[in-house]
Structures are given as C-alpha cells and as structure tokens.
Structure 1
Amino acid sequence: MPKIERFEINDRLSRIVVHNGTAYLSGLTADDKNTDTSNQTKQILKNADALLRSVGADRSKLLFAQIWLRDVKDFDAMNKAWIKWLDGAEPPARATVGANFALHEILVEIQLTAAI
C-alpha cells in the first residue's frame, strides 16, 4: 500500500495529505478576514502556492478545486483573482458553490487537489 503522508497536523485536520502522487489541501481561508472577497481570494491563493511548493507541486499541477462563497454575488470578484493567479496555467476541474460559514467574516474558502 502506498504511503500516506500528513503535514501541518493539528487536533482537527492535516493541512496537506499526500498519497500516491497526489496532494490534498484542506480548505483554506484568508489570514485577514476583514477584507472583501477578492482580497480574501488573493490571500488564500498566495498561501496555496506556499503549501503546494512545500510538497513539490505548483498551480500548473492542479487537478481539482472546490470553492465556497458566502455570497454567490461575489462570483465575478473571486473569478478575477482566480484567473489572474492561474497566470496562463491550464485550469483544473472546479466547482463553486454558495455556503454558510461558521465565522461570519469568512467570505471564501478554497480546497485544492494537485499532482506531485
């Protein structure tokens, strides 16, 4: 059986799980939640770059993205930040849905899966 590796573990989750050449990132939210959806998205994607690099992946190796938005009216603002971040890389399969979050200040959460 292929090895399962877990990184940045706490009592609730592993921030990254690597198995069989695939990296699974837990849902990411912005560090500064006192900003709009576009800026929260930019923060999340910057953090995603660092997490992906830490396991030998990058945005060009994305397989799937799940995006949750507090308000689906912010879809365009999130997409502008997303497309700029992809910077010409082929986009992954993706789903975007509206969601209620436990913390009111969270406007967007993004979960990624990437090849290594």
Structure 2
Amino acid sequence: MPIERIGVTQRWCDAAIFNGVVFLAGHVAEKTEGRPLAEQTVEVLALLDETLEAAGSDKTRILSVQIFLTDISKIAEMNAVWDAWVAPGTAPARATVEAKLATAGHDIEITAVAAKQASA
C-alpha cells in the first residue's frame, strides 16, 4: 500500500497518509507568530483544517492530538479557542504539555492523527 504525502519539503511534510490514517506534522502559526496565544491558536486550528481537507479528512475524524504550549499557565486561553472549534461529540484523545518550541514567537504547536474519509 502506497504512502501519500502532502506539503512535502526537504525536512518534513504537512501530512503523511497510510492505510486510511492521516498523520499530521506539528502545525504552528505563520501569520500570527508573536501575537497572543488565542490568535495563534485560531490560526493553527485553521491550518489543521486546511491540511485535513487536503488529506481527505476533517476535524471530526481526528483520533488523537498533541498540543504543545510554551506557557502551560495559558491553557485556559487556548482551551477557549479549542472548545469553540471542536465539533460537539467529536473531541479526540488529547495531551497538552508545556514545551520549548523551536522558534521564538511560536507559543503553540499542534500535531494530530486522523482517519481519512471513506472512499465513495
């Protein structure tokens, strides 16, 4: 069974798909880097939506998610955006941890695993 990759660069891809499972790379803010955490979270979730769509999936099919915050004391700020984004009854398994991210100005990074939509 072939592996499909989306958004391939030399160092990573935005998503890899194998056997109906979508593995998303860590997504970080591009336009709101250095802005408040809530703004970065809105952008990162929108980027996840875009990548999931390109992979033939959507947020209701996310199986698990890992959220990395540079300051865990701001989790309520992130959760307010997250809770508005997650479709009712589809919350994935989730882990949220404090971590030093690779680029200053990025306060959140999210990676996920999702199921691809069934073929028609």
1:102 paired to 2:102: yes
Q: CA deviation at 1:88?
A: 1.6
Query: Would the aligned equivalents of 1:29 and 1:106 in 2 still touch at CA under 8 Å?
Result: yes
Give the alignment of 1:1-116 within 5 angstroms: 2-31=1-30, 32-116=32-116
Question: Where do 5+ consecutive residues of structure 2 fail to align?
Answer: none
- Aligned-residue RMSD, C-alpha: 0.9
CA 1:46–1:89: 2 relative to 1, 3 Å: farther
How many residues are treated as equivalent by the alignment?
A: 115
Distance in 1, matches of 2:16 and 2:47, equals 16
Unaligned runs of 5+ in 1: none
Query: CA shift at 1:102, angstroms?
Result: 2.2
Secondary structure of 2:104's aligned partner: coil
Contact 1:59-1:89 at 8 Å conserved across structures:
no
Find the aligned partners of 1:110 and 1:23 in 2 and give their Cα distance: 14
| TM value normalised by structure 2 | 0.92
Is this contact kept in 1: 2:6–2:55, CA < 8 A? no
TM-score, normalization by structure 1:
0.95
- Displacement after TM superposition at 1:34 (Å): 2.3
| Identity %, equivalent residues | 32
Q: What code does the residue aligned with 2:115 have?
A: A
Note the C-alpha offset of 1:89: 4.3
Quickly say closer, same or farther: Cα 1:80–1:92, change in 2 above 3 A. same
1:87 offset after TM fit, Å? 3.3
Displacement over 6 Å in runs of 4+:
none
